[in-house]
């Protein structure tokens, strides 16, 4: 047991003892203990296994980056033991072990490490024959926690938050920044990833209570300030444009929209690189301090401190205060040491070895740290092996340098420069409204961090016009907090750079030798920084190695791209509560009652067909088609886009938007409309109806309504025509009543003249239908006499009911029946029979392109297209009448001489034709009726089809003529 | 020929989603609407109430002559785009842009009638409004807004009565902050949206409101 007596500010509650299990063994800790801290207090040193070689690993950072000590906590995989609080009755198991963490059989892999060189994953993929073997092996061996698919789905609510200034980081500089901005009148949100404020100010003490008192005072002022909202346990996961920062806590994501952001995120302590620097017992100096001050746990009985900055000396003082026997302090530097700190340690009898390194760490029988070999460094910084010295210890604290947490600043678009004096990148040019404070600015002394935080707070306040006073930024540090080369080579390797992926120094040297000499390439090839800690402990050393190998400066090497999220975010939080709007027409409940089987049409729900007991889908659709052809059908077309254009220039506007002419369209008439984009590609179609000289009402495709409205609004902003646009898609309900007897039904509901003279084909009329003000258009999309009736949405259901009550035999039909009916007429559906390259000529709509107009969108491109050979044409085809077996499907390919020459866009069985019919794109050489096409089905078999003329049904449009209609009726 | 010329009842956009609830229905302006969901309506509204106001009559107008049209009809015109006026009777006139207005009557249905009876001047035209409308009330209102909407309603100067065009749970809305009904303290949010989203909006807000101790409330609370 290594629990210390009460430490001021400790995070544990000694009044609450908590029982839990780790690897099946019962343990006890206190409320507030992290899993790692509780186990360390119990004397356990091997807390996890490394990813690749399954080496023993213990506490490294205790700062949410110990990815070798991930545990399975019940049904939660990959829980970070270094920060996760123990729960009463909690059951934890180390992930990625074969036989348990103590005796992991997979550790044998370490003996074969020479056969697993850098880039191993890519190299095995080169052997076609061996790849299946390696794939199976790697899949079996790799992976971390276990996902429980039966875990209950928890909808984690996302929420928004707003503030004037968001301060990221609750350490000394963040606290000072928040206070400074708040005192200027700003509303401040302070986000701190730990459960308590204070950051390093409460554990990097050097056994100096005065330092703690300074930070305590800041915390007290912040927590009592009315303008400051503190969000603990929340990390800023990313930075997006316009001061948009997602904060992630244990349960949810908070989307913070600030007016200014201050990044005071601190720095990650970096490991020294020497042989066996991963043994349990070797840890960051700050991790040792966290153990002491947060959890009151003694890190080791006897420790060596390896350092290259003043922080290491404070670690040593803190360890002595915690009762640790300090074997020695090993300083990589020969000078620049704070004389007071040095004297303080020497006066306590601590041996201080300057210009000295740890060459190698040694494991005892338990596989944990038992001692280190130290060597003096020569003038070139190389260890003098002849002067090796063994120091017995069970703990080694590394404090050789820092890497600033610049991720968010990079994402904000900050340009950085490498500062030699501090051996780190610092912001050179910050985006407007974004400020940095503390260690990210290269300032490490407590007073400088606070001063810099105050300066950042004032800058933010000035940016928000709350204050004019700026003051001055603090002076730079005198001594570098980071060593430029804390890396010691060793012939036997196992000197780890990246603990996530078990990458050693030689792996980087080999990668560079193999040509991966760019920082981004090196990352991908070696997988450095691609583990769960995302390179927070390895990127800086990797950069130094590459710089040295390439003879470049760190500035020249640069950093990898910092992308959101900079820290892994649980999928459940990313998913959150889903907002997926779906639209329903006013007839939804009617369809539901009739047995509608739903399909998504953009964001709308539409009946695909109406299910009937004892009938298959195909039979139901066929029955609906038959009803329209031989009787009466009714379909909900309320999902069509419905727009109005009004004003003296409305006709001119539509002339420019569509390929056909509308300026002289008669009032009371409608006309088909094709819309192209600037490249001449068909993007939408519909029907334009002229209701008055200055009012056109027109429809668009279901999925095109919003896009078309936006685009037309944009175009008129440019054209400045005297028109107004209104989108009434949701405000109007619409149905199509189709079949020879539709006039008979409507005549019972409406006073309009439905004679062919009074209401001819393609006419539009306004009147009352069942007392409802309606717009009626005579259309022929499904190939029968039919009317589209558009009414205000609040009367849509009344209209449907009135029609159904007037003619109970009418058959509602769904989208699939409508598709087949229009296919029989050879009509095109934009988006199904066209794609992102289809022009009007491809689909045989040459007649709809009026080049004699001065202008329309896409005219210039279409003109150019006419001057080039045609690429494809949409043709009609049919299979042999007696065809049996699986019919080809949409998107099946048309093959000739082994080459793809076309594809099917629509196909279905037509009872009216007595065969499968369809539309397909083919080369212009294959459009003659009678030509035979070979269609390849999914199973590779080929079906023959014959090119035929369109339409397949009623080619002379007799169904739109009175005699024929009456005969059918 | 037998024709039916008598105007039918309006259908409430929330009819489908409310089917099967044991609410007490009433009728307002020819549209069915829930008068009371339960005896706890007032209690719920004080925390987080959702009140259906879709029954109100509304009209829209657009075009450079639209302000003149309103003036001719004796309807007050908000001075600034994206602002609104609420009359003492509870009618709302919202200016949605420089030349676009939404007029919504109180129970008296005076304004829309006046607009319909006044000839539109040149450059003004009517816009069909078939919106669904909800009012949200209660002390937990801001919690719901922070979960559903990226707009900072807390930062709004309510005295200016801005008409806010934003999105809520992914649906475009026009919203105004108004004084809460007299039985409830504080402010309320009234918002209009495309009625084809009515089911989705109602279900989604009900789920979130339920987690915040709120829920649907009948219009009886407005009396």
* Domain regions of chain B by residue span: 15-54+131-222, 58-127
Q: Which residue's structure tokens are 């045989």?
A: A844
Distance, CA of A594 to CA of B105 (rounded, Å) = 36
CA A188 and chain centroid, separation? 28
Confidence at residue A431, expressed as pLDDT on a 0 to 100 scale: 98
List all residues 6 or more positions away from B149 whose beta carbon is below 8 Å from its beta carbon: A160, B166, B167, B168, B169, B173
Rounded to whole angstroms, the Cα distance separating A659 from A682 reads 10
CB contact under 8 A, A730 and B204: no
Tell me what the mean pLDDT of segment A631-650 comes to: 97
How far is A945 from A644, CA to CA, in rounded Å?
A: 43
The C-alpha atoms of residue A655 and residue A653 are separated, in whole angstroms, by 5
| Residue B170 with chain A: CB contacts under 8 Å | 579-581
Let me know how many helices (H) and strands (E) chain B has, helices first: 6, 13
Tokens of A826: 């050879």
- B8 → closest Cβ in A585, A586, A795: A795
Mean pLDDT of chain A: 95
User: What residue has token string 């190939």?
Assistant: A783
Chain B nearest CA to A947, separation (Å): 43
* Banded model confidence at residue A827, pLDDT cuts 50, 70, 90: very high
What are the phi and psi torsion angles at A14 (to 5°)? -70, -10
* Residue A17 host element (H or E): strand A13-22
Q: Which fold has domain A496-572?
A: Arc Repressor Mutant, subunit A (1.10.10)
Residue B170 is nearest to which of A579, A604, A796, comparing CB atoms?
A579
Q: Quick one: tokens of A959?
A: 């169904």
Closest partner residue to B154 (CB to CB) among A162, A255, A604 is A162
Q: For position B2, what pLDDT does the model report?
A: 42
Which residue of chain B has the CA closest to A156?
Answer: B147
pLDDT-derived band of residue A1, with 50, 70 and 90 as boundaries? low
Rounded to a whole number, what is the distance in Å from the CA of B66 to chain A's nearest CA?
12
Q: Which of B6, B11, B197 sits opposite A794 (nearest CB)?
A: B11
- Mapped onto helix, strand or coil, the DSSP state of residue A769 is strand
Verify whether the Cβ–Cβ distance B8 to A730 is below 8 Å.
no
Q: Find out whether A738 and A786 touch, Cβ atoms under 8 Å.
A: yes
Query: In angstroms, what separates the C-alpha of B209 from chain A's closest C-alpha?
Result: 12
Q: Give the model's pLDDT for residue A710.
A: 96
Any B CB within 8 A of A117 CB: no
CA distance A791 to A359: 85
pLDDT of residue B1: 39
pLDDT of residue B182: 87
Residue A795: closest C-alpha in chain B: B10
Inter-chain touch A726–B62, beta carbons under 8 Å: yes
Q: Is B199 near chain A, with CB under 8 Å?
A: yes
CA gap A755, A482 in Å, rounded: 92
Percent of chain A with pLDDT over 70: 99
Residue A412 has pLDDT above 50, yes or no: yes
Residues of B in contact with A586 (CB under 8 A): 11, 13, 195-196
Q: pLDDT (tens digit, 9 = 90+) per residue, A749-787?
A: 999 999 999 999 999 999 999 999 999 999 999 999 999
Question: Superfamily assignment of A271-400 in CATH?
Answer: FAD/NAD(P)-binding domain (3.50.50.60)
The span from the CA of A731 to the CA of A117, in Å, is: 66
Give the closest-approach CA distance of B32 to chain A in angstroms: 11
For range A340-365, the mean pLDDT: 95
Residue-wise pLDDT tens digits, A551-602: 999 999 999 999 999 888 988 888 888 799 999 999 999 999 999 999 999 9
Q: How far apart are the C-alpha atoms of A871 and A842, rounded to whole Å?
A: 8
Please name the member of A158, A726, A729 whose beta carbon is closest to the beta carbon of B127. Answer: A726
Q: What is the mean pLDDT of residues A377-397?
A: 97
Residues in CB range of A551: below 8 A, 6 or more apart: none
CA A376, CA A388: separation in Å to the nearest integer? 8
Return residues 1-60 of B near A (CB < 8 Å): 1-13, 15-16, 19, 31
Over residues A907-944, the pLDDT tens digits come to 999 999 999 999 999 999 999 999 999 999 999 999 99
CA angle A757, A762, A764 (to 5 degrees): 80
pLDDT exceeds cutoff 70 at A967: no
Categorize the per-residue pLDDT at A143 as very low, low, confident or very high, splitting at 50, 70 and 90.
confident
The CA-to-CA distance between both ends of chain B, in Å, stands at: 46
Task: Give the start-end residues of each E strand in A110-252.
Answer: 159-168, 188-192, 228-232, 235-236, 244-248
- pLDDT above 90: percentage of residues in chain A: 89
Q: What architecture (CATH level 2) is domain B58-127?
A: 2-Layer Sandwich (3.30)
Helix boundaries (H) for A514-611: 519-526, 539-550, 554-557, 571-575, 588-593
Asked if pLDDT for residue B44 goes beyond 70, the answer is yes
Alpha carbon of A724: minimum distance to chain B alpha carbons (Å): 6
pLDDT tens, A618-632?
999 999 999 999 999
Candidates B2, B4, B62, B166, partner chain A, best to mutate (most A CBs within 10 A): B4
CA of A764 to nearest chain B CA: how many angstroms apart? 19
Separation CA A89–CA A584 (nearest Å): 48
Whether the pLDDT of residue B155 is over 90: the answer is: no
Pure H helices in A825-945: 859-866
Closest CB to B11 among A160, A798, A802? A798
- In the block, residue with structure tokens 């707009």: B151
Given an 8 Å threshold on Cβ–Cβ distance, is B196 in contact with A159?
Answer: no
Which of A159, A771, A796 faces B4 most closely, judged by CB atoms? A771
The CATH class for the domain spanning A1-150 reads: alpha beta
Expressed in angstroms, the distance from the first to the final Cα of chain A is 96
Mean pLDDT of A1-17: 95
Contact B8 A158 (CB under 8 A): no
Mean pLDDT of A820-841: 97
Name the residue among A579, A585, A646 with its Cβ closest to that of B196. Answer: A585
Confidence band for A969, pLDDT divided at 50, 70 and 90:
very low
Q: What is the nearest CA distance from B130 to chain A, expressed in angstroms? A: 5
Two structure tokens written together for A920: 């397909």
Residue of A nearest to B62 (CA): A724
The nearest CA of chain A is from the CA of B168 a distance in Å of 9
Query: Is B3 a residue whose pLDDT tops 50?
Result: no
Which of A155, A464, A638, A730 would you mutate first to test chain B, the one with the most B CBs within 10 A?
A: A730
Three-state DSSP class for A687?
strand
Say yes or no: do domains A496-572 and A859-948 share a fold: no
Q: Which CATH topology does A588-639+734-750+767-827 take?
A: Gyrase A; domain 2 (3.30.1360)
Residues 775-794 of A with CB under 8 A from B: 792-794
Residue-by-residue DSSP string for A621-657: HHHHHHHHHHS-EEEE-TTSEEEEEESTTHHHHHHHH
**Looking at chain B from residue 69 to 98, which residues have their Cβ under 8 Å from any Cβ of chain A?**
none
Distance CA A936, CA A851 (A): 39
Class of domain A641-728: alpha beta
User: Domain A159-268+403-463: which CATH class?
Assistant: alpha beta
- Residues B91, B110: contact at Cβ < 8 Å? yes
Q: Supply the DSSP string of A282-336, one letter for each residue.
A: EEEHHHHHHHHHHH-B---SEEEEEESSHHHHHHHHHHHHTT-EEEEEEES-SS-
B15-54+131-222: which CATH topology?
Gyrase A; domain 2 (3.30.1360)
Nearest-5° Cα angle at A596, A592 to A602: 100
pLDDT at A964: 56
Structural domain spans, chain A: 1-150, 159-268+403-463, 271-400, 496-572, 588-639+734-750+767-827, 641-728, 859-948
B199 vs A584: CB contact, 8 Å cut-off?
yes
Q: At which residue do the structure tokens 């539709």 appear?
A: A742
Instruction: Give me Rg for the CA atoms of chain A.
Output: 37
Task: Mark yes or no for CB contact A750/B130 under 8 Å.
Answer: no
- Residue range A648-652: average pLDDT? 97
* Per-residue 3-state assignment (H helix, E strand, C coil) for A256-272: EEEEEEEECCCEEECCC
ipTM above 0.90, yes or no: yes
Strands of A476-632, DSSP E:
496-498, 503-504, 596-601, 604-610
Interface residue A585 vs chain B (CB under 8 A): yes
Domain A859-948 is of which CATH architecture? Beta Barrel (2.40)
Q: What is the mean pLDDT of residues A704-726?
A: 96
Exposed/middle/buried for residue A874 (C-beta within 10 Å: 0-12, 13-18, 19+): buried
CB B205 within 8 A of CB B41: no
- Judged against a pLDDT cut of 90, whether residue A14 lies above it is answered with yes
CB within 8 Å of chain B, chain A residues 839-898: none
DSSP string, B93-105: EEEEETTEEEEE-
- Which residue on chain B is closest to A244 by alpha carbon? B150
Q: Which residues on chain B are in Cβ contact (under 8 Å) with A768?
A: 3, 5
């Amino acid at each position: 047991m290594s629990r210390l007596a009460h430490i001021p500010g400790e995070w544990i509650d000694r009044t609450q003892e908590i029982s839990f299990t780790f690897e099946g063994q019962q343990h006890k800790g206190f409320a507030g203990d992290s899993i790692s801290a509780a186990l360390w207090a119990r004397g356990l040193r091997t807390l996890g296994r490394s990813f690749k070689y399954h080496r023993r690993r213990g506490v490294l950072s205790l700062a949410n980056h110990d990815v070798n000590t991930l545990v399975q906590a019940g049904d939660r995989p990959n829980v970070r033991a270094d920060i996760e609080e123990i729960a009463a009755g909690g059951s934890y198991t180390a992930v990625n072990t074969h036989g348990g963490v103590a005796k992991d059989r997979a550790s044998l892999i370490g003996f074969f490490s020479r056969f697993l060189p850098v880039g191993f994953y890519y190299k095995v993929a080169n052997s076609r024959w061996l790849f299946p073997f390696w794939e199976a092996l790697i899949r079996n061996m790799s992976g971390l926690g276990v996902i429980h698919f039966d875990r209950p789905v928890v909808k984690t609510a996302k929420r928004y938050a707003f503030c004037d200034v968001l301060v990221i980081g609750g350490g000394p500089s963040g606290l000072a920044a928040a206070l400074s901005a708040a005192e200027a009148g700003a509303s401040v949100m302070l986000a701190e990833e730990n459960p308590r404020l204070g950051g390093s100010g409460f554990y990097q003490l050097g056994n100096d209570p005065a330092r703690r008192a300074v930070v305590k005072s800041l915390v007290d002022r912040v927590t009592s300030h009315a303008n400051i909202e503190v969000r603990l346990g929340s990390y800023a996961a990313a930075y997006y444009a316009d001061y948009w920062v997602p904060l992630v806590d244990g349960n949810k994501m908070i989307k913070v929209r600030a007016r200014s952001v201050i990044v005071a995120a601190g720095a990650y302590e970096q490991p020294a690189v020497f042989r066996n620097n991963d043994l349990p017992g070797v840890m960051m100096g700050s991790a040792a301090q966290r153990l002491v001050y947060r959890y009151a746990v003694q890190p080791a009985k006897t420790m060596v401190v390896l350092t290259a900055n003043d922080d290491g000396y404070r670690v040593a003082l803190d360890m002595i205060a915690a009762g640790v026997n300090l074997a020695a302090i090993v300083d990589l530097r020969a000078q620049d040491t704070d004389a007071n700190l040095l004297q303080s340690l020497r006066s306590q009898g601590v041996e201080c070895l300057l210009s000295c390194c740890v060459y190698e760490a040694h494991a005892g029988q338990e596989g944990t740290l038992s001692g280190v070999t130290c060597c003096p460094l020569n003038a070139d910084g190389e260890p003098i092996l002849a002067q090796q010295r063994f120091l017995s210890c069970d703990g080694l604290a590394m404090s050789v340098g820092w890497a600033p947490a610049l991720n968010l600043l990079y994402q904000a678009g900050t340009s950085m420069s490498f500062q030699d004096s501090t051996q780190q990148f610092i912001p050179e040019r910050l985006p407007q409204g974004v400020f940095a404070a503390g260690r990210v600015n290269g300032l490490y002394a407590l007073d400088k961090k606070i001063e810099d935080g105050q300066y950042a707070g004032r800058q933010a306040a000035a940016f928000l016009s709350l204050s004019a006073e700026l003051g001055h930024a603090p002076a730079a540090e005198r001594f570098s907090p980071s060593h430029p080369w804390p890396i010691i080579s060793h012939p036997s390797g196992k000197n780890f750079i990246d603990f996530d992926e078990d990458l050693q120094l030689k792996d980087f040297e080999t990668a560079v030798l193999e040509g991966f000499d760019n920082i981004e390439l090196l990352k991908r090839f070696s997988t450095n920084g691609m583990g769960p800690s995302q390179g927070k402990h390895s990127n800086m050393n990797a950069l130094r190695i590459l710089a040295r190998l390439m003879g470049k400066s760190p500035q020249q090497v640069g950093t990898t791209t910092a992308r959101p999220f900079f820290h892994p975010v649980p999928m459940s939080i990313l998913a959150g509560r889903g907002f997926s709007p779906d639209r329903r027409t006013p007839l939804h409940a009617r369809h539901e009652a009739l047995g509608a089987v739903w399909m998504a049409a953009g964001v709308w729900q539409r009946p695909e067909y109406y299910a009937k007991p004892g009938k298959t889908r195909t039979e139901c659709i066929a029955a609906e088609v038959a009803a329209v052809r031989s009787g009466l059908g009714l379909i909900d077309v309320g999902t069509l886009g419905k727009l109005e254009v009004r004003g003296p220039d409305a006709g001119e506007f539509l002339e420019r938007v569509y390929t056909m002419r509308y300026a002289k369209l008669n009032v009371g008439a409608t006309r088909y409309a094709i819309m192209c984009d600037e490249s001449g590609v068909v993007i939408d179609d519909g029907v334009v109806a002229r209701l008055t000289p200055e009012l056109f009402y027109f429809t668009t495709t279901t999925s095109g309504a919003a896009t078309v409205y936006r685009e037309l609004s944009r175009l008129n902003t440019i054209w400045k025509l005297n028109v107004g646009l209104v989108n009434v898609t949701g405000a109007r309900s619409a149905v199509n009543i189709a079949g020879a007897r539709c006039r008979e039904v409507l005549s019972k509901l409406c006073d309009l003249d439905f004679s062919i003279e009074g209401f001819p084909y393609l006419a539009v009329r306004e009147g009352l239908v069942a007392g409802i003000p309606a717009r009626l258009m005579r259309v022929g999309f499904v190939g029968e006499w039919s009317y589209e009736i558009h009414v205000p949405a609040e009367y849509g259901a009344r209209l449907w009911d009135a029609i159904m009550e007037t003619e109970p035999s009418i058959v509602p039909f769904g989208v699939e029946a409508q598709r087949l009916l229009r296919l029989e007429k050879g009509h095109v559906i934009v988006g199904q029979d066209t794609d992102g390259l289809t022009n009007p000529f491809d689909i045989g709509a040459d007649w709809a392109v009026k080049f004699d107009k001065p202008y329309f969108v896409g005219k210039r491109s279409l003109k150019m297209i006419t001057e080039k050979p045609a690429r494809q044409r949409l043709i009609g085809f049919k299979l042999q009448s007696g065809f049996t077996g699986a019919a080809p499907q949409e998107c099946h390919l048309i093959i000739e001489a082994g080459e793809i020459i076309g594809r099917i866009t629509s196909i279905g069985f037509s009872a009216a034709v007595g065969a499968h019919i369809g539309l397909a794109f083919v080369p212009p050489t294959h459009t003659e009726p009678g030509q035979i096409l070979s269609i390849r089905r999914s199973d590779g078999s080929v079906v023959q089809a014959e090119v035929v003329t369109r339409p397949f049904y009623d080619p002379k449009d007799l169904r739109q003529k009175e005699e024929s209609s009456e005969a059918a009726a | 020929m037998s024709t039916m010329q008598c105007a039918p009842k309006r259908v409430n956009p929330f009819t489908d989603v409310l089917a099967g609830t044991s609410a007490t229905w009433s009728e307002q302006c020819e549209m069915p609407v829930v008068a009371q969901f339960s005896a706890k309506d007032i209690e719920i509204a004080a925390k987080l109430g959702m009140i259906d106001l879709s029954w109100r009559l509304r009209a829209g107008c657009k075009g450079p002559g639209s302000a003149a049209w309103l003036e001719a009809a004796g309807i007050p015109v908000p001075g600034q785009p994206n602002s609104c006026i609420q009359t003492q009777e509870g009618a709302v006139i919202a200016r949605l842009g420089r030349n676009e207005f939404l007029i919504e009557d109180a129970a008296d249905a005076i304004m829309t009638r006046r607009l319909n009876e006044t000839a539109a001047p040149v450059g003004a035209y009517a816009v069909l409004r078939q919106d669904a409308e909800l009012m949200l009330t209660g002390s937990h209102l801001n919690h719901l807004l922070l979960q559903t909407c990226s707009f900072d309603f807390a930062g709004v100067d309510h005295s200016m009565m801005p008409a806010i065009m934003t999105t809520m749970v992914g649906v475009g809305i026009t919203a105004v902050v108004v004084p809460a009904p007299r039985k409830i303290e504080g402010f309320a949010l009234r918002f209009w949206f495309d009625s084809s989203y009515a089911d989705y909006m109602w279900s989604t807000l009900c789920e979130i409101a339920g987690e915040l101790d709120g829920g649907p409330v009948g219009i009886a609370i407005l009396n």
